[in-house]
C-alpha cells in the first residue's frame, strides 16, 4: 500500500467481533517473516495514535486542522495524527454542546462531555469522523478522562479506482490511581486498498507512572501485558505481548522515546520493538533486523 506512505502507513486492524462472527480461529502456524514485516510496519506507524491520545488534558491546542477550533489537546492531537498538512487543509468542524455551554467545574479544560466532528480535505484526501471526550470526575482535575473515536476514517484518492484508506476505532480510559494512572486502551484499526485489507486488534490496561505528578502527561512510563490479534488475508495470528518501560514524552508526536515491546506467537517466534529515541525504532524478528 505505497499510496498510504506519504500520510499514514499505519497499523491496520480488523474488528475482533468481525473475526469471531466470520468464524476465523487463530492459527497455530508460525508468524511468517513476510507477515512479521507487515506487522512491524503497522505497529511503528500506529504509534502516532497511541501517543496522540495521551495528551495533557489541561493543555489547549488551537489548530486549523479542526476548522480553527480551540480544542483540548487529546482531541486536537488525534486530528493532527492524520498527517494532513495543516497549511493546506480545508475543514468543517462542529463541537456539541458549544464551548459556552460545556460544563467544566474543575477547570481542567476537559468538559464533562463533548463531541467533536470533523470533515477535512486536501485535494483528493479526506479525513472525517467524530471524537467524544469525557471527564472522569468533573470535580477533580486529576481524575482522568475518556476519549472515543466514531467512524474515524482517512481516505486517499477518494472516489477513484485506486482509493485506499485507514479506519480507526479507539477507546481510551485514563483513570487516576494516586499517584499513578491506569490507562486502558482498546484499539481497532483497518487499512484497505489495492492490496486488500489486513488488520490487528488489541486491548490492555497499562500502568502509567508520570515523571512529574504536577504535569502528569508531559512525560512518563508505561508497562503492560496483553494479547494482540493480527489478521492477514488468510490467517489470524494471536500473539502475546509485553511492553517494558515504554517512555512517553509529549515533545515527540511520532513514537515512544524509550523502552521495548516484545510480541511472541504460539511457536515462540519473537518480534521485538525497541524505541531508541523519538522516531528512532529498531525491530527484529527472531533476532534478525526487519
Q: What is the reported pLDDT for 90?
A: 79
The number of distinct structural domains making up the chain is 1
Q: What is the reported pLDDT for 194?
A: 77
What's the grid cell of residue 154?
Answer: 482517512
Mean pLDDT of 98-111: 88
* pLDDT level of residue 241 (50, 70, 90 thresholds): very high
The answer, yes or no, to whether residue 66 has pLDDT greater than 60, is: no
Do the domain assignments include residue 250? no
Do the domain assignments include residue 15? yes
> Distance of CA 193 to CAs 82, 99, 114, 168, Å?
17, 38, 33, 15
Do the domain assignments include residue 59? yes
Q: What is the reported pLDDT for 9?
A: 39
* pLDDT level of residue 250 (50, 70, 90 thresholds): confident
Do the domain assignments include residue 288? no
Do the domain assignments include residue 77? yes
Do the domain assignments include residue 263? no
Do the domain assignments include residue 287? no
Beta carbons within 8 Å of 103's beta carbon, 6+ residues apart: 111, 112, 138
Q: What is the reported pLDDT for 56?
A: 61
Lowest-pLDDT choice from 31-45, 223-237, 245-259: 31-45
* pLDDT digits 0-9 by tens, 125-170: 898 999 999 999 999 888 888 999 988 888 988 888 888 888 888 8
**Which residues span the domain enclosing 141?**
2-224
Average pLDDT for the chain: 83
Amino acid at each position: 500500500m505505497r499510496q498510504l506512505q506519504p500520510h499514514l502507513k499505519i497499523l491496520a486492524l480488523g474488528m475482533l467481533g468481525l473475526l469471531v462472527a466470520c468464524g476465523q480461529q487463530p492459527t497455530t502456524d508460525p508468524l511468517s517473516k513476510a507477515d512479521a514485516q507487515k506487522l512491524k510496519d503497522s505497529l511503528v506507524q500506529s504509534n502516532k495514535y497511541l501517543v496522540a491520545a495521551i495528551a495533557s488534558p489541561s493543555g489547549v491546542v488551537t489548530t486549523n486542522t479542526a476548522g480553527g477550533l480551540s480544542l483540548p489537546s487529546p482531541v486536537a492531537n488525534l486530528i493532527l495524527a492524520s498527517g494532513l498538512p495543516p497549511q493546506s487543509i480545508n475543514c468543517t468542524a462542529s463541537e456539541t454542546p458549544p464551548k459556552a455551554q460545556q460544563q467544566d467545574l474543575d477547570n481542567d479544560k476537559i468538559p464533562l462531555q463533548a463531541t467533536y466532528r470533523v470533515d477535512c480535505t486536501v485535494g483528493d484526501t479526506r479525513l472525517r469522523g467524530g471524537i467524544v471526550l469525557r471527564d472522569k470526575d468533573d470535580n477533580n482535575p486529576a481524575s482522568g478522562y475518556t476519549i472515543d473515536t466514531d467512524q474515524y476514517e482517512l481516505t486517499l484518492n477518494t472516489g477513484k479506482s485506486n482509493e485506499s484508506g485507514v479506519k480507526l476505532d479507539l477507546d481510551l480510559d485514563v483513570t487516576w490511581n494516586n499517584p499513578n494512572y491506569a490507562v486502558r486502551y482498546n484499539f481497532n484499526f483497518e487499512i484497505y486498498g489495492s492490496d486488500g485489507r489486513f488488520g490487528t486488534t488489541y486491548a490492555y490496561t497499562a500502568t502509567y507512572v508520570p515523571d512529574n505528578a504536577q504535569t502528569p502527561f508531559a512525560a512518563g512510563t508505561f508497562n503492560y501485558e496483553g494479547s494482540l490479534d493480527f489478521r492477514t488475508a488468510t490467517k489470524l495470528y494471536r500473539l502475546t505481548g509485553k511492553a517494558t518501560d515504554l517512555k512517553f514524552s509529549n515533545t515527540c508526536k511520532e513514537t515512544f522515546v524509550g523502552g521495548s515491546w516484545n510480541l511472541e506467537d504460539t511457536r515462540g517466534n519473537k518480534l521485538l520493538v525497541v524505541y531508541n529515541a523519538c522516531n528512532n525504532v529498531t525491530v527484529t524478528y527472531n533476532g534478525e533486523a526487519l
